[in-house]
Structure 1
Amino acid sequence: MPKFQNTESKNIELTAENVNVYYGSTLAVKGVNLDIHSHEITAFIGPSGCGKSTMLRCFNRLNDLIPDAKVEGNITFRGQNLYEKKVDPVQVRRHIGMVFQKPNPFAKSIYDNIAFAARVNGFRGKDMDDLVENALRQAALWDEVKDKLKSNGLSLSGGQQQRLCIARAIAIQPEVILMDEPCSALDPISTLSIEQLLLNLKDKYTIIIVTHNMQQASRVSDRTAFFNARATEKGKQGYLVEYSDTKTLFQSPVEEATQQYVTGAFG
């Protein structure tokens, strides 16, 4: 298994080249090309069914778990093709973590949510207490839970649960964190706390976030990719319309479809 040493530009973490994603014989996402830059937040925006989440899952091979899913093209992480036969997808997910749309803490204590994730991913050190505290501190949750670490993670509020899930992802010490609509189930105050957390985390991690919330994308992301979908005989086919730094995409987009989407004319 490769160690994913960066043989590419130090500024590029992940690259997608001519990526097609099939579900069975249906081409769901077509011809995606983009670079993900290190220690930045990249947002994927676009209407429902345009392939944002499908493309996100390509980066840590979660589509492998979907029957009949197939990925064509090249996806490289630090110069290593993630889809080569010698690459273990479990190890890919160790380097490229995931936070899902709805908070999904384990039915365990707050402490064990972090410790269990670390142990499953090979942590054998004696300083588990330090690891748990560090992960919770990075997720801006430590001060709120330090006196109730034995309490069930499910007892926390929705926003706290999502930060616990982020801490759990951090505990395995990834280089990249993927987030699929991490705020869609949260209230506005919790959403703002997650957004501030993302801004704090990008110094240590590369982050890709899928969001329907264009204001959120404009607030937190350095770069934004706009996806759209075209109708085919077999359903919607997603594709990348435009990708640039966030300010340019929102204020001076090249494509008319991007302009219409970011101004609310459709979507």
Structure 2
Amino acid sequence: MRSRNQNENHQNNNPPTKPKHADLSETVLQAKKLSVYYGETLALQEVSMDILKNSVTALIGPSGCGKSTLIRCFNRLNDLIDGCRVEGKVIYRGKDLYGSKIDPVAVRRRIGMVFQKPNPFPKSIYENIAYGARINGFKGDMDELVERSLQRAALWNEVKDKLKTSGLSLSGGQQQRLCIARAIALKPEVVLMDEPASSLDPISTESVEELIHQLKHDYTIVIVTHNMQQATRISDFTAFFNAKAGKNGKRFGYLVEYDKTEAIFESPQEESTKQYVSGRFG
């Protein structure tokens, strides 16, 4: 058996790419030796992993291990942070999203994002859906798009008679489902979710989790969560990240283990994964 230090070195030098027990499902996104720096400070080191189509992939690990940093790389939101530098590649449908000819705005249309706290626009429920579609050049039937998006977000029946009221008037759980409807209105293929239920009550959390189960039939979902029970409930695959101090004393994140969710929680291969999922640290 390896010592813990040897084990961590092994993980860092040979990061898993595909879930070991996955079938041959189509790969939608690939991170290839992806590292992220804020200024000169390393935040995430050489992550390589494949995200599989029509699946829910959960990213778990202690605070500061780079989970949110990673998903922001997947749709180039880190471009908006001063001093952020990304090395390596993110491949989507055969194209490197960090290539010189790639338009980040176009990337975000194909790879949507739902944030930790619900953030509806200060507009009507209808305009929360229509506004993004309109500025992105949608020319079809807007009423149909709004209704379809709200239906897919399991919100239509609750708001169909008050579409002109402010999105901010909704409950927290409804607001988060409105934000999900807004994201899928642009017809992305991938939806990134950064702890989408962390600020919600248990009933609203259950509604969002049920929605995620429904959405994976049409979308590929990557979700950051600190709630390990949530990861077991909603995800097909789980990637465990950890953090350690670099030579400058500052901590950076790295991928430890990536597999089917039941394998990560029931028979993890790495000692640090076992300790984390059993609640011994984190």
Please state how far the C-alpha of 1:54 moved relative to its aligned partner: 0.1
Aligned to 2:211: 197
- Counterparts of residues 230-241 of structure 1 (less than 5 Å): 230-232=244-246, 233-241=248-256
Between the aligned partners of 1:128 and 1:55, the Cα distance in structure 2 is: 33
Structure 1's unaligned 5+ residue stretches are 1-8
Q: 1:219 aligns with which of 230, 233, 247?
A: 233
Please state how far the C-alpha of 1:122 moved relative to its aligned partner: 1.6
Q: 1:121 aligns with which of 121, 133, 136?
A: 136
User: What TM-score comes out, normalization by structure 1 length?
Assistant: 0.95
Between the aligned partners of 1:120 and 1:227, the Cα distance in structure 2 is: 37
Aligned to 1:148: 162
Aligned residues: 258
SS at match of 2:63: coil
Conservation of the 8 A alpha-carbon contact between 1:13 and 1:78: yes
- Counterparts of residues 1-267 of structure 1 (less than 5 Å): 11-125=26-140, 127-232=141-246, 233-267=248-282
Please state how far the C-alpha of 1:121 moved relative to its aligned partner: 1.6
- State which drifts further: 247-256 or 233-242: 233-242
SS at match of 1:228: strand
SS at match of 1:93: helix
Between the aligned partners of 2:234 and 2:25, the Cα distance in structure 1 is: 22
User: What TM-score comes out, normalization by structure 2 length?
Assistant: 0.90
- Which amino acid in the other structure matches residue 175 of structure 2? Q
Aligned to 1:6: none
Please state how far the C-alpha of 1:236 moved relative to its aligned partner: 1.3
Please state how far the C-alpha of 1:198 moved relative to its aligned partner: 0.2
Q: What percentage of aligned pairs have identical amino acids?
A: 66
Between the aligned partners of 1:157 and 1:121, the Cα distance in structure 2 is: 28
Please state how far the C-alpha of 1:25 moved relative to its aligned partner: 0.5
Q: Which 4+ residue blocks in structure 1 deviate beyond 3 angstroms?
A: none
Between the aligned partners of 1:213 and 1:120, the Cα distance in structure 2 is: 35
Please state how far the C-alpha of 1:234 moved relative to its aligned partner: 4.6
